[in-house]
Amino acid sequence: MSRGDVVLKDNLNKLLKEGKSDKDQNVRPKWSDGTPAYTLKTFGVLNTYDLNEEFPICTLRPTAWKSGLKEDLWIYQDKSNDVDLLEEKYGVKYWRSWANKQGNLGLAYGRQMKYQHEYKEGYFNQIDRLIWDLKNNPYSRRMITNLYNHNDLHGMTLYPCAFLTMWDFDGEFLSMTLVQRSSDYLVAGNINVTQYALLQHMIAQSVGMKVGKFHHYINNLHIYDRHFEQAKEILEREPFAAPKLVIDESVKNFYDFKPEHFHLEGYEKHEQIKLEVAI
């Protein structure tokens, strides 16, 4: 059984049995017909995966893990907020509803990775600084990337959901914590897990380290009111074994990774469940 399935079932059971409803509150999200999109939520969820043991993808439904990988490359390699580029270069099209008239996300996501920040050792963007620290000061407790810049929130078309990473090396394994303010769990929950697990793999391989633990903290984990029946259906399914992630070991530079360097062997999964997305 995949660890991704164990976590998914545990969280869905908790939401359906103990989740707090915001029904009748003045909520921001709406369905396409204009109806308010209410949720069941739970606060402060910490999910733990050991990437040295398996890749944390669920099998209870398909996960578009390659799309998540392409978002990684768009944000952290290209350092782009350009939705046109995401569609044309990678074929990922579901960000269009958040784009502005110029076809980008304003000052959000990859734009934050593009900034050059001044350090004692010179100017770095956040990813280059992380890689520099892992190579030159791997036991540092200051290895952080952050997409949530309060000074730029006014210019973002979408406030980042998964926004902060913290990294730790113990002499053998490179571990990471991801902090996420909000998770539309059935729509994007496992995509977020797989894409940041892939980011951890890429960073580790580029600095010659082995991947370790992946801690994923979600402040507000929720499912929407039009997803309750789909959640119950997923809970009735029997999981398959976790697949094996295979990465081209010849790639040593973070900026050289491409989608074709990643493969999943033996990924069995149940059929997809259709979900309406609240905006």
E strands, the chain, are: 20-21, 39-50, 117-119, 122-124, 144-146, 162-169, 173-184, 210-224, 244-247, 262-265
Q: Residue 24: what pLDDT?
A: 87
Q: Rounded to 5 degrees, what are φ and ψ at 90?
A: -115, -15
pLDDT, tens digit, for every residue of 55-65? 999 999 999 99
What residue ranges do the domains of the chain occupy?
3-265
Average pLDDT of every residue of the chain: 97
List the CATH code of the domain at 3-265.
3.30.572.10
Per-residue 3-state assignment (H helix, E strand, C coil) for 127-143: HHHHHHHHHHCCCCCCC
**Catalytic residue of the set 64, 85, 158, 161:** 161
Q: Is 161 a catalytic residue?
A: yes
Nearest to 183 by CA among 195, 168, 198: 195
161 neighbors 182 (Cβ within 8 angstroms): yes
Q: How far is CA 263 from CA 69, 222, 237, 245, 266, in A?
A: 11, 30, 25, 6, 10
CA angle 76, 88, 90 (to 5 degrees): 50
Residue 70 confidence (pLDDT) = 98
Q: What is the pLDDT of residue 49?
A: 98
pLDDT tens string 23-54 = 989 999 999 999 999 999 999 999 999 999 99
pLDDT at 1: 79
pLDDT at 279 over 90: no
DSSP 174: E
